[in-house]
Chains A and B, each alone.
Chain A
Amino acid sequence: MPNLQSPHWPLLIDIYFFLVGLAGGAFMAAGVADIFGSRKDRVVTKVGTYLALLAMLPGPLFLIIDLGMPSRFLHMLMVPKAATTIGMSAINIGPFHIKPYSAMNMGAWALLGFGVCAFIVALTLYLEDKGGTINLGPVRGAFGAIGVALAFFVAAYPGQLLSTTAQPFWTNARPLGALFLAIGASTGMATIALILSLRGPEVSGSLAKVRRAYTIAVVLQALALIAVFMAVARGPAWSASRAGLLTSGSYSLAFWVGAVGIGLLAPLILEVRDGFFQGYRQGRGMVAVASLLILVGGFLTKYVMFAVGQG
Chain B
Amino acid sequence: GDPDCPHTEGALCPKGSSTFQLSINETRITKPLYRAPGSDKWEEKPLDWMMDRIARLVKKTRDATFVEQEKEITVNRCDGLALMGSSVLDNEENYLIAKLGRAMGVVYLENSARICHSATVPALGVTFGRGAMTTNLIDVEKADVIMPTSNWAECHPVSYKWVMKAKERGAKIIHVDPRFTRTSATADIWAPIRSGTNIVYFGGLINYAIQRKKYFHDYVVAFTNAPFLIDPNFKTPTDLGGLFTGYEPAKRNYDKASWRYQLDADGNTKRDPTLQDPNCVFQLLKRHYSRYTPEMVERVCGLPKAKFLKVADIYCSASGPDKTGTISYALQLNQSSNGVQQIRSLCMLQLILGNIGRPGGGVVALRGHSNVQGATDMGTLYHMLPGYPGMPLRDAHPTFKDFIDKETPKTGYWTTKTAHIISQLKAWFGDAATKENNWAYDYIPKRASADDYSHQHMLVAMLKGKVKGFICIGQNPAVDSPNAGMGRLGFAKLDWMVVQDLFEIETAAFWREKGVHAKDRSVDPKTIKTEVFLLPGAPAAEKDGSITNTMRLIQWHSKAVEPPGDARSDAAFFYDLGLRLKKLYAGSKAKKDRPILDLVWDYQHDPKDRKVEPKMELVLKEVNGYATRDILDKEGKVVFKKGQHLPGFAAIKDDGSTACGNWIYSGVYPEEGKNLAARRDKATTPGDYMNHNWAFAWPANRRILYNRCSADASGKPWSEKKKLIWWDAEQKKWVGGDVPDFKADLAPDAPKLKEGPFRGLGGLDAFIMRPDGKGALFGPMADGPFPEHYEPFESPTHNLLSKVNNNPVAKVWDIGDLNKLGKPDQYPIVLTTYRLTEHHAAGMSRHVPWLSAMFSGHFAEISHELAAERGIANGDMITVSTPRGKIHLRAMVTERFQTFIINGKKVHHMGIPWHWGWLGVMPAAIGDVTNDLVASIGDPTTYIQESKALLCDVKKGEV
| A–B direct contact (CB < 8 Å) | no
